[in-house]
Amino acid sequence: MMFWKVTEAACIAILATLATATPTIDTHIHRAVLSRPDIKPFPRNSGRSKPYSPPRTKTCSVIALGGGGDDAPQILDAFQDCNNGGTIVLDGNYTIATALDLTFLDSVDIALSGSIVFKADIGYWLANAFRYDFQSSTAFWKIGGRDVNIYGGGVGVIDGQGQAWWDGFASNSSLLRPISLVLDGLHGGSVTGLRMVSPPNWFNLIANSSDILISDMVLTAKSSNSNPVKNSDGWDTYRSDHVVIQNSVIDNTDDCVSFKPNSTNIVVQGLRCNGSHGISVGSLGQYVDQYDIVENVYIYNNTMSNASDAARIKVWPGVHSDFEPILSGGGGSGYVKNITYERYENINNDWAIEVNQCYGQSNKTLCELYPSNMTISDIYFIDMWGTTSSKHDPKVGTLVCSSPEQCYNFHAKNISIASPKGKSQWICSNFDTSGLEGFDCVSG
């Protein structure tokens, strides 16, 4: 079997190739137009062929107003004019200062070789951003419909102006900060070759969508002062099916990728993640009246560095827990099933693997009295190597379940993880550990 190792240099080379690709010229508007790249899921796919996307037959170009003027109305006009088979060209520097609902699209390309900046008008966005019940999420804009491709050729930028929001959060921990890009109800589409910087909250949410390809992205969240970046998940999937996220570089402070409730048939491959909370299943079981599923997820050939975790599964306990001012819950039910982490390089992560059925609750007694209603089964860790940080030395991972009835069929093979002292102890409790090849299990 041949394995493909995607390095950071390779990712940058891919983006450079896209950036220097020869553009086509639309003679009607006399502007350079990025060509839609022919990127496919590789080496793995989600188990379903990429939907056919026909060529576009018309082009609408948007001239930026400049000076911080709100470009949202004319961007909306362009989408209405070029819906049903067109390409919207965004090759200037645009400011979006009002909420933009683009969930009506059908067979549309978005060629972004310029930049989109969301105006840091906190008062306006608090009153007008789109709201989602799940985890009090909000959004500047949302894109949905059928057959939508967004591509940036390695040069297109989406800037969330997160610093103003992180500064605001430092004095108001209940501040609802918008997500930089939400795909909501998109069936068949792609987002490729973009650079995303400074998200107020998560970079991306893929919600209520299917058959989505994400590729060749560079995501960066860095604070310019002592107020830390908050959240900054790279991608969260929610109620979505058949999604591939691949060949990208992420430098952030929270989950690199997180599979939220009802994420199925997902592939994550060829990512280089730094400073994150890992590639994570969950959190799940947050809402008592919800039944959460995450199933058939393949996480392949990735590198995680300087993170709290590399491979992570997190579910809430069976009792309500107040975790953070705008993040609380517990008591929900459902299952996690058929999750594979294969070929995973670890560099200075606190835990190589963390399985936690008591997420959001620090009182261990309550967790024992009210175990999680979520079951976790058919979990595979294959070919993982590298070193952990000194934080938990000599322990390198923690797998703690509510009970053997809630966790079963855990498997590990070819795991070569060492602490700085050269030891490899694992905290393992409340499940059958016989499938963990070579693990030195100790109590917590």
The candidate with the shortest Cα–Cα distance to 293, out of 233, 239, 365, is 239
- The Cα 32–Cα 244 span in angstroms is 29
- Kindly report the number of other CB atoms within 10 A of residue 188's CB atom: 20
- Secondary structure of residue 232 in the 3-state scheme: coil
- The Cα 131–Cα 148 span in angstroms is 22
Secondary structure in 3-state letters for 269-299: EEEEEECCCCEEEEEECCCCCCEEEEEEEEE
Tokens of 328: 């609380």
Displacement of CA 4 from its chain's centroid (Å)? 22
H or E stretch including 187?
Answer: strand 181-197
- The Cα 174–Cα 122 span in angstroms is 13
Residue 411 known to be catalytic: no
- The Cα 370–Cα 374 span in angstroms is 12
- What one-character-per-residue DSSP string does 59-115 give? EEE-----TT---HHHHHHHHHHSTTTEEEEE-SEEEE-S-EEEEEEEEEEEEE-SE
Of these residues, 277, 320, 392, 411, which one is catalytic?
Answer: 277
Could you give the residue numbers annotated as active site?
A: 277
